[in-house]
Homo-oligomer: A and B are copies of this chain.
Amino acid sequence: MNVLAFPKGKPMARGSERVEMSHGAGGRAMQRLIADVFHAAFDNAELARGEDQAVLPVAAGRIAMSTDTFVISPLFFPGGDIGALAVNGTVNDVAMSGATPLWLSAGFIIEEGFAIDDLKRIAQSMARAAKAAGVTIVTGDTKVVERGKGDGVFINTAGVGIGAPDIPLGAARIEAGDAILVSGTVGDHGVAIMAHRAGLQFETTIESDCAPLNGLIAALMASGARVKALRDPTRGGLSATLNEFAQAASLGIGIIEEAIPVRAEVFGACELLGLDPINVANEGKLVAVVDARDADAALAAMRAHPLGQEAAIIGTAHADPHHFVTMRTRIGGQRMIDWLSGDPLPRIC
């Protein structure tokens, strides 16, 4: 079922209105909610067609398709909100293939009683994020669940991008000797959320790094550097991404703690919260694996982009039958970087 709207009838009153079960029932109330909240914000010709699907022109080649569901709590946080996150998260997952993200779908699960003004704020944030990333929200769906059967709003986005490389980027292409780069400071998103939840005060507010990375990736690819794999280290942080790479490539990965950029406030907050920045989610950073001969060119290309100014070469891949990820620590030791176990950071995205 589509969010396709019929912008007729009285607009909804402003202020204290809340989502009711009837807003998910497929009738006039749903049509009005969709028109007033989603169509008003996302305003584009495909949605305006009013069908249950978008129809989109493609050239012969390869498209990339990805999806992500967002259940972050709280919905609004320093540096972003669930709406911006839902757009950027899927833009980034599509872009990591080397494709150009163009179109998003959006599926909402709204808890009965949710304030319509908050829903509008989220939709407007999605619209701004989509514009900034150069993508269009072309189709959608709205569901309402009873009070106590959801948590405010959950958002799923799926994305389609065009022009993916014939031989897709991916962990399977990583070879021993390849350089590992990160596009900037790690841990900002997760620490911003945790600090906000815990009510921690710092001299400067720690903000989520929530951002679309398609522009940075385009700059990196344009540099001519032989890029093997790209991934955004979200849940599980840098350590999960590196372990995924090591397993999928059947290689070891060695990183250098000193080389990993971490904001001083994030480092401090991690000490307080008992977290390691390399285990903490990012929403505007990427890990790039490139041919070692191109590491400097890749680094220069990333640093020349506003979202990659603090990019760094943090390690290399090497032969290792155990596929371990290891880190040379600041004090000169060597430690294993394992997958995170348990969930110290629930509902971080």
Contacts and interface: CB of A to CB of B under 8 A. Distances in A.
Interface of A: 1-2, 4, 6, 8, 20-22, 24-31, 49-71, 89, 93-94, 96-97, 99, 103, 105-109, 138-141, 143-146, 148-151, 154, 156, 158, 160-161, 164-165, 168-172, 231-232, 234-237, 240, 244, 247-248, 281, 339-347, 349
Contacts of A64: 53-56
Contact of A27 (B56, B62, B340): B340
A294 B345 CA distance: 60
A159 B247 CA distance: 30
B65 A56 contact: yes
A107 B245 CA distance: 23
Given A65-B103, A69-B107, 6 more contacts: A1-B349, A30-B235, A31-B339, A51-B169, A53-B97, A69-B156
Given A1-B93, A343-B21, A63 B66 contact: no
Copies of this chain in its oligomeric complex: 2
A158 B165 CA distance: 23
A235 to B, nearest CB: 3
Given A150-B151, A244-B6, A67 B26 contact: no
Contacts of A1: 68, 89, 93, 234-235, 349
Contacts of A161: 53
Given A22-B342, A26-B234, A343-B25, A67 B168 contact: no
